[in-house]
Amino acid sequence: MIDKKKLPDQAKRRLVVGTVATVAASMYAPAFVRANSHTIKIGHLTPRTGFLGPMGEYAMMGATLAMEEVNASGGALGRPFEILFEDSVNPKTASSKAQRMVERDNVDFLVGEISSSSGLAISQVATRAQKMFLQTGCNSDELRGKNCSRYMFHLEANNSMYVNTIGREMLRQNMVKGKRWMAFTADYAFGHDLFEKTKRFMDANGAIFVSNDLVPTDATEFSSLILKIRQQKPDLVMSNLAGNSTTNFMKQYKEFNLPIPLAGADLNAVSIWGAGEGSFQGVWPIIWTHQVNAPSAKVFTESFTKRWGRPPDNQAVGDYLAIKILARAMQETKTIDTQKLIAYLESGVKFDVLRQREGYFRPWDHQLLFEMYTVQPVTGKPKNKWDVMQTSAPVPGPNESLEVLAPTAEQNACTFS
């Protein structure tokens, strides 16, 4: 949980930024703000409960730190940022809360989310209201394809980018040599889409899925599935799980001590840390870790750790960057006009995305392109509980285009209405 001792007294109730010098943040109270036409209001929605809750907590910390830094430097256009935090819970709640933020609280922008289903619901509200929505944790390719919106921008990688990243590493390690694979897939939109992308990679490399078990998002016990692995003896186990399910699966997989290689198509640092030394195993893609060796990444990690008493995870990065990008876009365009800001982000302008190379939004699907990484258990004794993994060099390589990981327009057609 967030250490309340590190927050000012006002933070025990809610987050309101009234001036550059006064910041009161709360991660627990419902949204309530005093009317203040001078502030730039941002509605932040993300899961704070359930199997995605631990990642949502980091999302809020990342957004809060970015807001504090923006306001400490004078805000944007001389106006401070004010963030309203809400627990999105599920698609229906996410939609109603986003609608309330737009109609009652008069937010200027929407930021956040992790669940792809909830992200779609928020996007529909944002599109109707013509408010920009910077989504920071939704992976589904469909949000960049048939469900894309000109008002939605994506700071999270899509499933194709994750699968292409881990696919490259699996080929490098010769893990695709065995052709019989088993999959375990989270039974909701994200998991279904992720399995589709992993199957595309599998088909292209001559492997077959001998089975694919759909796993409820609230599942905590996997012994029957792991026994099935022991019986079928596949060459590779592929995880398409999410959130706490990934952590619990890794722990129990380790307890059974199976000699079958494990890989995954999506992973978050909170799942690694939740599994801990000895239980974290396999090879996985990830968009960012606190081990990234780039100057701005090191500064961010130091600032985040000082503020919150722990290093940032990959989800914190997306929400931090969303607030920072909004501030820069307003400063450079000298406006908060949505249409002009959209045109600016579509122009190919590059941003420091806390990696070696700068990133940019593709104008036709609004996907932010950036370097990704793979992680696997550290060799030897970890130096602390946060460094149980080792982060690879950036993917793609320095002489490759960032486009090689993402689907093409033909593969994932997007038409903005």
* Pairing outcome for strands 109-112 and 40-46: parallel
Q: Give CA–CA dist 123/150, Å, rounded.
A: 10
Residue type, 32: F
234 and 355 both lie in a single domain: no
What's the CATH number where 193 sits? 3.40.50.2300
45 and 173 both lie in a single domain: no
71 and 219 both lie in a single domain: no
Work out the mean pLDDT of the chain and round it to a whole number.
90
332 and 270 both lie in a single domain: no
DSSP string, 125-174: HHHHHT-EEEESS---GGGGTTT--TTEEE-SPPHHHHHHHHHHHHHHTT
Q: Give CA–CA dist 171/177, Å, rounded.
A: 8
- For residues 277 and 37, which has the higher predicted lDDT (pLDDT)? 277
261 and 383 both lie in a single domain: yes
Q: How distant, in Å, are the alpha carbons of 74, 82, 120, 147 from that of 126?
A: 27, 18, 10, 13
237 and 346 both lie in a single domain: no
The number of CA neighbours under 13 Å toward the Cβ of 389 is 31
149 and 202 both lie in a single domain: no
Start-to-end C-alpha separation, the chain:
41
Which residue reads 């995305």 in tokens?
Answer: 353
Mean pLDDT confidence for 248-252: 92
Is 239 inside any structural domain?
A: yes
11 and 70 both lie in a single domain: yes
Given a cut of 60, whether residue 233 has pLDDT beyond it is yes
The per-residue pLDDT for 76 is 97
55 and 203 both lie in a single domain: no
45 and 107 both lie in a single domain: yes
Task: Give the rounded percent of residues in the chain with a pLDDT score beyond 70.
Answer: 91
394 and 275 both lie in a single domain: yes
| Confidence bin at 217 (pLDDT 50/70/90) | confident
Predicted confidence (pLDDT) per residue in 19-51, tens digit = 333 333 443 333 333 334 589 999 999 999 988
User: In total, how many domains does the chain have?
Assistant: 2
Q: What residues contact residue 102 under an 8 Å CB cut-off, 6+ apart? A: 43, 110, 125, 126, 129, 131
Q: According to the per-residue pLDDT averaged within each range, which of 193-202, 264-273, 319-328 is highest? A: 319-328
The per-residue pLDDT for 36 is 45
Domain that holds residue 342: 4-157+292-369
Q: Give CA–CA dist 150/415, Å, rounded.
A: 9
- For residues 21 and 334, which has the higher predicted lDDT (pLDDT)? 334
272 and 306 both lie in a single domain: no
Given a cut of 80, whether residue 14 has pLDDT beyond it is no
Cβ-based neighbour number of residue 365 at 10 Å: 23
